[in-house]
Structure 1
Amino acid sequence: MGVDFSESVPAPNQDAIATALLQLVAVVAQLRDPEQGCPWDREQTPTSLIPYVLEEAYEVVHALRQGNPNAIAEELGDLLLQVVLQAQIASESQQFDLATVADGITEKLIRRHPHVFGEAIAETPEAVQATWQAIKAREKGEVAETLTHCLSRYAATLPPLTAALKISQRAAKAGFEWPNLAGVWDKFEEELAELKEALDSGDRDHAEAELGDLLFSLVNIARWCQLDPVAALQGTNDRFVARFQKVEAAAGQSLDSLGIETLEKLWQQAKRELGQSSV
C-alpha cells in the first residue's frame, strides 16, 4: 500500500486490538466447526444472516442516538460479529477471508484520500466528496456515474425513507427542483387529492402508488425546510411508545375494554405529563 502506519497507533493498543480481533475470529471459527461447533451457527448462510446484519446496524444507530458509550461498544461488537461471521463463511469455500475484507477497505480509503496519503489538495468537505466520486468512477471504468445510476443505487440499497431524501437531494442538485416552497406545497396538496381519489375508487394498487407519491412530496417539504424526515419519524415513534406506555399504566386494565373517549383522555394526559417533544 506504500503507507507506513506503524506509529499511527500506540504499541500497547496495537497489541490489544490484534489480540482481541484474533480471539474473535477464533471463536467464530470454532462456532462454525463442522463437528464441535454450534448447530445454529453451522447452518447459517450469507443470506440467512441478512436480517441480523440489518437488525444489528439499526441497534448501533439507536445506541449512537442514545449516546451511551457502553451500549455503543456492545452494539458495535454485535455488528462486528456479523462482519466476522460473513467472512468466516466465505473463507470456508475459499471465496475471501477477513484479511481480504480489511485490506480491501484500507486500500480503498488510501486511494480515495489522495489529499491525505498523496499530494492532492482538497480543503473542503465538498472538494473531498468530488474527489471521492471521481476516483470511484475511474475505478469502475466509468467516465462518470450518471445521475440515474446514482438514484437507482439509492433506491436499491437504502431504507425507503432515507432513499427518498437522497433521491430528492440529488435530483434537486441537478436542477430538478421547484422554484419555491409554495410549489412544493401545491404538489403535496395535489398528491393528497389523488390519494383520496384512489382510495375512493377501491383500487388498492393505485392507492398504494399515490400514498408513495404523497410520502415523497412530504420528504421534499422536509428537505426544503432543512428537516430530517428520518429523525422526525423516529422521534414520533419514540414519543408514541412513551405515551402509550403511560396510557397502559394509567388504564390498569386491558385497553380494548375501554372506549375511545377514555383512551383519548388518557392519551392527552400522557402528552401533558411527558411534554410535546419528550421521548
Structure 2
Amino acid sequence: MKLFNKNILAFSALSLAVMSCFPEQEVSEIDSPDDGAVVTITPAADYSSVDEGDTLWFDLSTDKLFDQSIDFGVVFQASSESDASDVELINPTFSAFTYTTRVGVLVLSDHNPEGAETLAFNLDASEDYGYNFQLAPSSESESVSSTVRDYDYGIVWGAEFCDQGVDIDIYLVNLAQTVGVYDGATSACPVEGGSMKSLADDTYYIVADFYASDIPVGGEGVSIPFNVLVGNNNGENHMVLESSFNSNDAGNDNRVVGFLEISGDGTAYTVYDAEGEEIGSGSL
C-alpha cells in the first residue's frame, strides 16, 4: 500500500511539472454583431411617383470599411404589383474599402400599355448571405413605395386569334411621312409598341397593319377585332379605336386608326380618333 501511494505522488508531481511548461491560454472574446459596419441608405429624390424608364437612385454610406464587398438588392413587399421582371439594378455592389456608393433601381419600360401600378420594395443586403455578417443590425433598410405611371402605346386583339398566327402590327408615321416609328412591328400578341416619351414633337398617324394570318382564306372570312391603346399619366388606357380586320385580307390591309400629337418639347401628348376628334391628353 505504501508503494502504491508513493507511485501516485510521483505521477502527480510529474504532471504538475509538465503543465507548468505551457503558458496560460486566454479565451478570445466573441465579436458582437453590433460591432459591424452601420450602413445608411438615403434616396436621392422623392420617388412616390415615377414613370416607366426612370431610375431610382440611392446614396449609401458606411461608418466602417468592409474587408469584402457587399451586394445590395431589391426585396419586394407584399403590396408590390411590380416584380423582379420590372426593375434592373445599377451598380448594386458596395465595394470593399470604400465609404460611399450610389445604387440605382431602373424601372423598366415594357412598351405594353397598362394602368399605373405600385412598386414597393426594400433596398438592403439581406440577400447577400455570404457577406452581410459585416453589417450591424442597426444598418438601415430603405423602404420605397412608388406609383409607376405608363406612357406606352400598343395594340391588342382577341386572344383566341393569338394561336392562329394572327399578326397585326402597329406603327407611327408623321404627317409629312418622313419619320416612321416601327416599335410595334412584331409578331407578339398583344403587340408591345413603344413609349411616347421617346418621341419628338410632331403629329403621327397611328397605323394598324394586318400583316399575316394562318386562318385559311375562303368564304366570308373571319372577323378579327382589335383595339389600339395608348397609356396615359393617370394610369388609365385611352382606347383609340375598336375595329376589325377580315381574315381573308391578311397581308393586304392596313389603316389609320387615330393620331398622336407630341408637344411642348416632349412634355405633353394628345390622342385623336381616326376622324380627328380628341379623346384624351396628358403630360409626359
TM over 0.5: no
Q: Using structure 2 for the length normalisation, give the TM-score.
A: 0.18
Q: Using structure 1 for the length normalisation, give the TM-score.
A: 0.18
The structure whose residues are more often helix, as a share, is 1
The structure whose residues are more often strand, as a share, is 2
